Amino acid sequence: MKKEVSTTELHQKLGELLYGVYRNGDRLIIKRADTLLAAIVPIEAYQ
């Protein structure tokens, strides 16, 4: 599942969000004030 996450939410829920990436294959798009900053994807997608 693709999900946009603010930097504040990432800071507050990092462990939970990373678990979703690991367990469910979630893909996170990190943004700050409508600016896309980074993506967190499962390691399989990166390799």
- The conformational region for residue 18 under phi > 0 = left, psi -120 to 50 = alpha, else beta, is alpha
Given pLDDT bands bounded at 50, 70 and 90, which one contains residue 19?
very high
| Contact present, 40 and 28 (Cβ < 8 Å) | yes
**According to the model, what pLDDT value does residue 7 have?**
97
Domain ranges of the chain: 2-46
Per-residue pLDDT tens digits for 4-15:
999 999 999 999
Mean of pLDDT over the chain: 96
Instruction: Specify burial of residue 15 (Cβ count, 10 A radius: 0-12, 13-18, 19+).
Output: exposed
Answer yes or no: is pLDDT of 47 > 90.
no
Global pTM value: 0.86
- The CATH number assigned to the domain with range 2-46 reads 3.40.1620.10
